[in-house]
Structure 1
Amino acid sequence: MTSHGIPRSSTTPRTPQALEADLLKIEAYNTLVSQVQALKSTNTYSQSSLSTTSTLLEKNPEFNTIWNFRRRIILHLLSSSPSPENDKLALLSSELQFLIPLLKNFPKCYWIWNYRLFILQTSSAHLPLPISLKLWKSEMKLVEKMLSSDSRNFHGWGYRRYIVQNIESLRNIIKKETGGKEGGNGEGGEEESLVEQEFAYTTAMYGKNLSNFSAWHNRSKLIPRLLLERGATVEERRTFLDGELGEMQTAVYTDPYDQSIQLYNHWLLLSSCSPSPPSSSQPDLVFPLTNSQKFETLRRTLEWMRELLDEEPECRLLLEEMIFVGGLLRQLGDNEVEEIDREGVRQDMKGWLEKLLEVDPMRGGRWREMHERL
């Protein structure tokens, strides 16, 4: 039997003893599945049922219907009797602990992550909010460990954003209920927002690896809110933009072939230098620049890109970005920015497109069409 043209062969011969051992494992597994299915069909929601599902899920965490059965067991145990607060906390904490070894062995199993979120959400519904908040906050340690082992895991970044969102929401609710404090647990006075902390985290993460697309993406999502919460003035927003663009110039010079960096730089320029005026539905721009300031920003960007192109004449990503910047400049020329030599920019763009036809023939049809349009 072959797969993708590669023949499959057993590297080690299977002895009759090994086959017998596998058959015994299969039989034991099927017996365990039958036991759990019987408990499920009779709606037996007990600690014993919970333990039995644990044994099965440790063997097969992809068994989604068993995770659903486990959910019902947990909800029943929490609500069937007026359990003391500490007992509920112990139950939910033990569930979070049970999942740790499973996540280590099966880090990309959706059902485990979904169930973990269910436990955290359940804690918000069945525990005092300050206690539930502690569980949510402790989850940040797990996320940091996960991203330290795989810093570009976009599932991990999405999970982190969800945890942060819930921490902020709980803090906001507690603050309203307690008149400005998180509660009598010595943690009062914390800000509801984690945007500054998360922005600093993206800085640290891309500092370790410029290719971390998830860090750049998260950064772009945080910046509008960051500037809003800082109460940044128009001038402060422009200063912030200059700082980010300066970082991008250094980053692109470091590795012009890295798409993550180029995409973030692209977002910055599109957010700040788009020739379209703000619409009535979006009156407040993240980076409010005048047309003259947009021109100067694009001119400076194109200047250092030209210098880099002399060193990396066959960098497809750089050529594409220069065409994008040139297109923005030509559109600004329609907005009465007199300094722009639209014809000169057009000729430059044609030359860059001709170079792209050489270095990127696979997309030749696209570059030829753009060349004809110019």
Structure 2
Amino acid sequence: MAPTFWHDNPAWEDVTPIPQDEGSVHALAAISYTAEYSEAMSYLRAVMSTNEYSARTLDLTDHIISLNPAHYTVWLYRAKILEQIKADLRKEIDWLNITALEHLKNYQIWHHRQTIIDRLGSADGEADFVVRMLELDSKNYHVWSYRQWLVKRFGMYDENELKWTESMIEEDVRNNSAWNHRYYIVVGERDGEILSKEIVEKEIK
């Protein structure tokens, strides 16, 4: 795929890019960025300096994330843009689904997803997507952490969640993440309360 350059786009002709200050030309360990990434970041600095929240800045964050999905500042700016322009957050989840499948172990993706789902106030479809992700990597720490957040945020300390966790353990008894999730379901909501004899006996069996 050919690189994308924003100076070629008439919609951006009003923006003066701000290049990165590289400091000394004799920097000990200067980072070698591609021309595409350097230009995109120079435009990002420009729009962030004026606090621009718009459809075009959303497109810009999409592009930069495709080049560097671990750039935390870009994710934070994207979340702010979505809030300010009152974007359709379900469309953002659709976009995140594709992005997560391209970058299976990226923390920023899951933190952003948590932010968006929290704003939506609904976990519809999230459990199914987590299952899909774990089918690709059953021990993906970021996915399990997100599932635990879902449980806490939406009160999913229930029999369905426990049965799903049991199925993951049955599939791979050495999956420590699944065991940890089971422990969280059984103990997590009790806030230090002593487990009943019934629960203890059930877990031992």
Paired residue type of 1:221: Y
Residue equivalent to 1:159: 146
Contact in 1 for aligned 2:61/2:74 (Cα 8 Å): yes
Structure 1 residue 225: deviation in Å?
7.4
After TM superposition, give the deviation of residue 226 of structure 1 in Å.
9.5
Instruction: Give how far 1:42 is off.
Output: 1.3
Find the residue that maps to 2:173 and give its secondary structure.
Answer: coil
C-alpha distance after superposition, 1:65-106 (max 9, x if no partner): 11122122112112xxxxxxxxx5xx2112112222221222
Question: How far apart are residue 204 of structure 1 and its match?
Answer: 0.9
Bigger-Rg structure (1/2)? 1
The answer on whether the counterparts of 1:143 and 1:160 sit within 8 Å (CA) in structure 2 is yes
Greater helix share, structure number: 1
1:37-83, CA deviations, whole angstroms, 9 ceiling, x for partnerless residues?
Answer: 111111111111111221111111122211122122112112xxxxx
1:95-133 deviation digits (Å, cap 9, x = unpaired): 112222221222221111111111112223xxxxxxxx2
2:136 aligned with 1:149: yes
1:107 equivalenced with 2:104 (yes/no):
yes
Q: How many angstroms does 1:145 deviate by? A: 0.9
Give 1:29 deviation, angstroms.
Answer: 2.2
Of 27, 32, 43, the match for 2:35 = 27
* Paired positions, count: 169
1:191-231 alpha-carbon deviations (Å, 9 max, x no partner):
xx54211111121111111111122222233335799xxxx
Does 2:190 align with 1:221?
no
Structure 1 letter corresponding to 2:35: E
1:61 matches 2:69: yes
Instruction: Give 5+ residue unaligned stretches, structure 2.
Output: 1-32
TM normalised by structure 2 equals 0.72
Q: TM-score, normalised by structure 1?
A: 0.41
Could you tell me how far apart the structure 2 residues matched to 1:166 and 1:27 are?
A: 42
Say if 1:233 and 1:69 are closer, same or farther in 2 by CA, change over 3 A. closer
Residue of structure 2 equivalent to 1:12? none
1:336-372, CA deviations, whole angstroms, 9 ceiling, x for partnerless residues?
xxxxxxxxxxxxxxxxxxxxxxxxxxxxxxxxxxxxx
Question: Which runs of 5 or more residues in structure 1 are unaligned?
Answer: 1-24, 79-87, 125-132, 169-192, 247-374
CA contact (8 A) 1:50 1:73 kept: yes
Q: How far, CA to CA, are the matches of 2:36 and 2:179 in structure 1?
A: 48
Inter-partner Cα distance in structure 2 for 1:224 and 1:73:
38
Q: CA shift at 1:137, angstroms?
A: 2.2
3-state SS, counterpart of residue 137 of structure 1? coil
1: CA distance between counterparts of 2:141 and 2:44? 34
The residue that corresponds to 1:82 in the other structure is: none
Q: Deviations over 1:263-285 (max 9, x none)?
A: xxxxxxxxxxxxxxxxxxxxxxx
Matched letter for residue 116 of structure 1: R
